[in-house]
Amino acid sequence: MSKIVVFPASKKDKKAANKEELSKLTQHAGTIQPIHQQRMTLSSVAKSEVNSKVSAVDTLRRANSDAKLIGLRAKVKAEKAAAAAATAKKDA
- Tell me the C-alpha distance between 14 and 8, whole Å: 8
pLDDT in tens, 22-44: 777 777 777 778 778 888 888 88
**CA distance linking residue 84 with residue 49, whole number of Å:** 46
Contacting residues for 1 by C-beta, under 8 A, at least 6 apart: 25, 26, 28
84 inside domain: yes
Write out the residue range of the structural domain in which residue 71 sits.
Answer: 55-92
Assigned domain for 14 exists? no
Q: Are 26 and 35 in contact (CB under 8 A)?
A: no
- Model confidence at 70: pLDDT above 90: yes
Is 72 inside any structural domain? yes
Q: How many domains does the chain have?
A: 1
pTM across the whole model: 0.38
Q: What is the pLDDT of residue 1?
A: 47
